[in-house]
Amino acid sequence: MTSTEFRVESDHPISGRLLPVSDSQQYSIGDHPLAVAMAEESDTKPSGREIRVVHVPTGEVVFRKSASTCPESSDEF
């Protein structure tokens, strides 16, 4: 396995406490569970945009954190 087996990426800058540097749009990770954890714990600027984990050799998206959606109305106050 190479050090660039997986890529955490977004169309927007990514920030998070598990990332080595904030505000990049992609990070190369050698481990699948670590890449997914980093994507799950991260957010984008602006907040709520999609973050993906891509298996670099195949180009397959193996994890997708979809954009956040807020309900338009709620019965709970």
* Tens digits of residue pLDDT in 4-58: 799 999 999 999 888 888 789 999 999 999 999 999 999 999 999 999 999 999 9
User: CA angle, 45 as apex, 43 and 50 as ends, to 5°?
Assistant: 55
Q: Given this model, what pLDDT does residue 20 score? A: 81
The secondary structure of residue 16, as a DSSP letter, is -
* pTM reported for the whole predicted model: 0.79
Q: Given this model, what pLDDT does residue 70 score? A: 41
The secondary structure of residue 62, as a DSSP letter, is E
Tokens of 29: 């990770």
Q: Is residue 58 classed exposed, middle or buried when 0-12, 13-18 and 19+ CB atoms within 10 A define those classes?
A: exposed
